[in-house]
Amino acid sequence: MSMDLVPWLFLFPASLWMLLSRSVRGPLLLFTVGYLCAFAVGQLTWLSLPSLVLLFASAGAVQAQRPQPVRMLGYALFIAVALSLRAHLVPGFHNPLVLDTQFSEGATRFRMYFNLDKLLIVLWVAYAWRQVKWEASPQRAVAVGVVVSAATLVLCIGMAWGSGLVVWDPKWPSTAWVWALNNLLLVCVAEEVLFRGFIQSGLSQQWRKWRHGPLAAIAVGAALFGLAHAGGGYAYMLLAAIAGVGYGFAYRRGGMLAAVVAHAVFNMIHFGFFTYPMLAG
């Protein structure tokens, strides 16, 4: 086994534990060991230290006992660092390239990394943000997630097929299990924690006195989710935003686990039965 994968023997189980336990406090030791291993194998260097310090500082600043100006500064600091981490602009992170392939004939080439920087966003939100709705019933969360995913699939895949972005392409290559592991425990968890657990829940709280506040929060979270996928082009960005509305409703009805299930099932069906990620223009 490559030494590049050693940190993820701890980080992926920690991510799953966090999702199922609805807290980061239990799996914190696994996360810590994983990042120490990443440092030992060179995936994390001292250049990443300033971003870690800023994240710790912003986590302390947003606590309820702080004065409101301090909390606002903490949120602004976190958002700035989080956007930089998500865009892979912060130095000191050497995310290992795991896949570089073409899954479907005529599709754009797919490159996949195990992203240490994006995972830090998850840890911050789960640890410092008290408004994440984790849902107490896993059975309800899974049921909500599956139903929402089915509805979102019909709409989004239908639009993608009609617009020529994808075609029917059933497959399950030998590397699919690596893709599925990363998709569930890093991509879906990271994106749902940020866009639904932080952005949507935060706006819902701010707009709670407004009759349509929760719906507006879903719309804003979905729009930002779409913008985050702008690299795929306008059509791909629009479809991501529509899918984000579905994930937002899943979060509202069933909590974080429901949103992750909806997102993961959608991606799994897309990957397994249609062009992935999309046809080359």
Q: Name the residue range of residue 128's domain.
A: 3-44+93-273
In a domain, 74, yes or no: no
When the pLDDT of each residue in the chain is averaged and rounded to a whole number, the result is 93
Mean pLDDT within 96-120: 95
In a domain, 186, yes or no: yes
Strand partners, 93: 44
Report pTM: 0.93
In a domain, 59, yes or no: no
Q: How many domains does the chain have?
A: 1
Residues 119-161: tens digit of each pLDDT = 999 889 888 887 888 776 888 999 999 999 999 999 999 999 9
In a domain, 56, yes or no: no
Q: How far apart are CA 169 and CA 273, in angstroms?
A: 5
In a domain, 231, yes or no: yes
Task: Say what the pLDDT of residue 117 is.
Answer: 95
19: pLDDT strictly greater than 90: no
In a domain, 179, yes or no: yes
Task: Say what the pLDDT of residue 1 is.
Answer: 56
In a domain, 79, yes or no: no
53: pLDDT strictly greater than 70: yes
Select the more confidently predicted residue: 136 or 94: 94
In a domain, 66, yes or no: no
Residues 218-276: tens digit of each pLDDT = 999 999 999 999 988 999 999 999 999 999 999 999 999 999 999 999 999 999 999 99
Task: Say what the pLDDT of residue 166 is.
Answer: 97
